[in-house]
Amino acid sequence: MDEKSLWAIYVKARRIPFSSFNFWMTLIVFILVVLQYCMLEISLDEKLKIVREFSTMALGVVVSVLGFILAGFTIFATISQPDMLVAMSKHRHDKSQLSFLKNNFFIFMRVFIYYLVYTVFCLLVILFAIKGGLVHKIVQLSPISWKITEWLVGVAYVTLYTGMFFLLMQLKSFIYNVYHTVMTAIRWKAIQ
């Protein structure tokens, strides 16, 4: 096994192509969220309040979903037949050039990694987007602090909303991959 960390797994998992539907839908939502932010006719303080509230709500939702998908993956991994997994490890997936075993498991792991990264981002927003906090004090040192603040709030807004949609698309794919893997296991059992 070459992978010694989540980062190593993520690097290898990048070989697996994304669903084009997920990519295009996320890109469309990204553009719409950027337009939405640019068209908001509210003060910067109100935008920051929205970012703070959404990041708090998103953290709760994402951690809950992460718990469910981790439990589901654990159940799947424990009921999988070892002989099927060994057979999957001996055959290469055409597109990713990984074994079918790693290809299937890396798809699951990639979803976990995205959820963890988003969770950390939400936590950082909650931790550092407070008035009088570290980021606020550093930004205030600049002569163009209001511009920097606007950009930071805008980036956080777009990242939070687009990221949540992206995670929903990943959850959709995760559910399909669980279905596909269960059907593979059933077919394997029937052949045996």
Q: pLDDT by residue (tens digit) across 76-110?
A: 777 777 788 788 888 888 887 888 788 888 888 89
| Higher local confidence (pLDDT), 114 or 1 | 114
Query: If you average pLDDT over every residue of the chain, what do you get?
Result: 88
Q: Which two tokens stand for residue 10?
A: 């993520």
pTM of the entire predicted model: 0.87
DSSP state of 133: S
pLDDT band at 17 (very low <50, low <70, confident <90, very high): confident
| Higher local confidence (pLDDT), 74 or 171 | 171
Q: Residue-wise over 60-88: b if at least 16 C-beta within 10 A, else e?
A: eebeeebeebeeebeebeeebeeebbeeb
Please list, in sequence order, all residues whose beta carbon lies within 8 angstroms of the beta carbon of residue 76, skipping any fewer than 6 positions away.
178, 181, 182
Say how many C-beta atoms besides its own lie within 10 A of residue 156's C-beta: 24
Q: Chain centroid to CA 3: how far?
A: 20
Domain ranges of the chain: 19-191
Please list, in sequence order, all residues whose beta carbon lies within 8 angstroms of the beta carbon of residue 92, skipping any fewer than 6 positions away.
98, 99, 100
Mean pLDDT within 44-57: 93
Mean pLDDT within 145-166: 94
